[in-house]
Amino acid sequence: MKEAIYDYIIVGAGSAGCVLANRLTEGGHHRVLLLETGGSDKSIFIQMPTALSIPMNTRKYAWQFETEPEPYLDNRRMHCPRGKVLGGSSSINGMVYVRGHARDFDEWQEQGADGWDYRHCLPYFRKAETWAFGGDEYRGGSGPLGVNNGNNMQNPLYKAFVDAGVDAGYFATDDYNGARQEGFGAMHMTVRNGRRWSTANAYLRPAMERDNLTVVTHALVHKILLEGKQATGVCYEKDGKLVDVKASAEVILSAGSIGSPHLLQLSGIGNRDVLEQADIPVNHELPGVGGNLQDHLEFYFQFRCKEPVSLNGKLDWWNKLKIGVRWLLKKDGLGATNHFESCGFIRSRAGVEWPDLQYHFLPAAMRYDGKEAFNGDGFQLHIGHNKPKSRGSVYVQSDNPRQPPRIRFNYLQHEDDRQGFRDCVRLTREIVNQPAMDKYRGPEIQPGVDVQSDEEIDAFVRQAVESAYHPSCTCKMGVDEQAVVGPDTRVHGITGLRVVDSSIFPTIPNGNLNAPTIMVAERAADLIRGLEPLNPSNAPVAMDEQWRDRQRPGGARREIA
């Protein structure tokens, strides 16, 4: 049988891979093979937004990775699920659409990712998106990715939380993905016509109608095929058989921040000591592969609610059935939202230039697995310090592609990260105790009023924090010795090989990662095709000009210790 040869092979049909599959097959000029270890995303539990906790915790749809004991979290092993299905993590995530602050991308440029500053990234955010309220100089009006506000904050608790932030002296922001991120306002989600709008729905399904795209599911890639310093294809396993397939142009890894460095290492590309310890021959020494691992942590600040308006009354089987039936018939109601419909982005201290704390507000008190936290009504704020200085790693353990890599984030290793969570506790209490919440605020359940001192907060945080599921930065983009890819997304020292996914972020943005991952893939698709980049934007960015001297525009000054 004649060996199939494609122009491009994309490994991973996730948030980035689906974008690339669409863009690289536009016009019909290139033959593209897209390989995905998982299978179909057509489950109701994936497509119905309110069911988000199910696919994330299901082995069929997600790699259920677990970290090594985390030394600064009392040696807890942390859950690290990654998408294993068409759409990847965009098919199992919380659907929250946050681009990050403009300065996050300027930071990339400053770290050597030339051309990835906010002015050059904003046009690609706009290209990807159709914003429910119409396009402007910040928001897209005709892109594949549908973005809205779910049920438009019909529950009164959403607005009460936003008003409480304003009462506490913070900005109100009309659009945190627009001119001003800092402040409190409505939260956005990747939902369209009541369905999860993953990159599988937004990008891959239209592309699968094209003759020049081949999608192979249940395909486990074993390694990249190399001839010297040239990537020529990949070896993958399908139905128990190994298949070698060639790429005449490039191999593109879009397997995510765990999968992409692991596959490079399985192919003998990486840190020499790591490869030799795993008995893998060194084909190309690249020290930074798998290093620089970053993530967001968060915990739930939970309160009882004095009014019977929370979603806790909707968690019994009968109400869940009614919500599900309505969604099946009409694609609306409580089934058509992720329930994170208001949010906040604030700075932890004076002297912090742009927001480093993020709130997701939920009008219920419950766990990530969808079970109620206690009997009765309640609400919770997911709060985290989003610009961590701690760094971890993803390192291969053997040449067996089925053996998970060794993952260690070193969460809270850096004192600034621990201080960030102390600020989370104290600032959140102040916000929730504003007059706007008086009608609803009951007793504090978690952390509990007895958690006050630095030592008490630190102990609580070590036991209570969970991953926000934003692993990133393990194949960082740049030109220094630890960089894995250049600003063109090509792997340093290897011809015909790129990495395009959240692993190439130099630093983690202040926000959820699906939106910037899609943006990176959109921009990379133009680089790969040799197209002129979109014209940089001159849209202004609103900042607190007195950030050096105040923690918030209308509040007391908080100095950096």
The answer on whether 157 is annotated among ligand-binding residues is no
The answer on whether 13 is annotated among ligand-binding residues is yes
The answer on whether 14 is annotated among ligand-binding residues is yes
The answer on whether 28 is annotated among ligand-binding residues is yes
Tell me how far the alpha carbon of residue 40 is from its chain's centroid. 21
The answer on whether 264 is annotated among ligand-binding residues is no
Q: Can you give 60-119 as a three-state secondary structure string? A: CCEEEEECCCECCCCCECCEEEEECECCHHHHCCCCECCCCCHHHHHHHHHCCCCCCCHH
| Per-residue burial over 326-336, b = 16 or more CB atoms within 10 Å of its CB, e = otherwise | bbeeebebbbb
The answer on whether 524 is annotated among ligand-binding residues is no
The answer on whether 23 is annotated among ligand-binding residues is yes
Active site residue 360: no
The answer on whether 9 is annotated among ligand-binding residues is yes
The answer on whether 384 is annotated among ligand-binding residues is no
* Cα separation, 241 vs 91, whole angstroms: 28
* Cα separation, 312 vs 300, whole angstroms: 15
Choosing from 188, 339, 360, 470, which is the catalytic residue? 470
Please, which residues have CB within 8 angstroms of residue 357's CB and are 6 or more apart in sequence? 344, 345, 346, 347, 348, 383, 384, 385, 386, 420, 423, 424, 427
What is residue 258's three-state secondary structure?
Answer: helix
The answer on whether 21 is annotated among ligand-binding residues is yes
Give the bridge partners for 308, in sequence order: none
Least Cα distance to 283 among 307, 266, 299 occurs for 266
The answer on whether 311 is annotated among ligand-binding residues is no
The answer on whether 472 is annotated among ligand-binding residues is no
Least Cα distance to 337 among 95, 92, 49, 94 occurs for 49
The answer on whether 226 is annotated among ligand-binding residues is no
**CA distances from residue 296 to 223, 342, 380, 466, 561 in whole angstroms, order as listed:** 29, 19, 18, 9, 22
The answer on whether 188 is annotated among ligand-binding residues is no
Least Cα distance to 70 among 489, 430, 411 occurs for 411
State the burial class of residue 39 (Cβ atoms within 10 Å of its Cβ: 0-12, 13-18, 19+): middle
The answer on whether 523 is annotated among ligand-binding residues is no
CB atoms < 10 A from the CB of 52, how many? 24
The answer on whether 399 is annotated among ligand-binding residues is no
* Cα separation, 429 vs 425, whole angstroms: 6
E strand segments, 2-55: 5-11, 32-35
The answer on whether 25 is annotated among ligand-binding residues is yes
The answer on whether 151 is annotated among ligand-binding residues is no
Residue type, 88: G
* Cα separation, 247 vs 368, whole angstroms: 41
Q: Map tokens 């939902």 to a residue.
A: 191
The answer on whether 29 is annotated among ligand-binding residues is yes
The answer on whether 488 is annotated among ligand-binding residues is no
The answer on whether 558 is annotated among ligand-binding residues is no
Annotated binding site for FAD: 7-36
Annotated binding site: 7-36
Residues annotated as catalytic (active site), given as ranges: 470
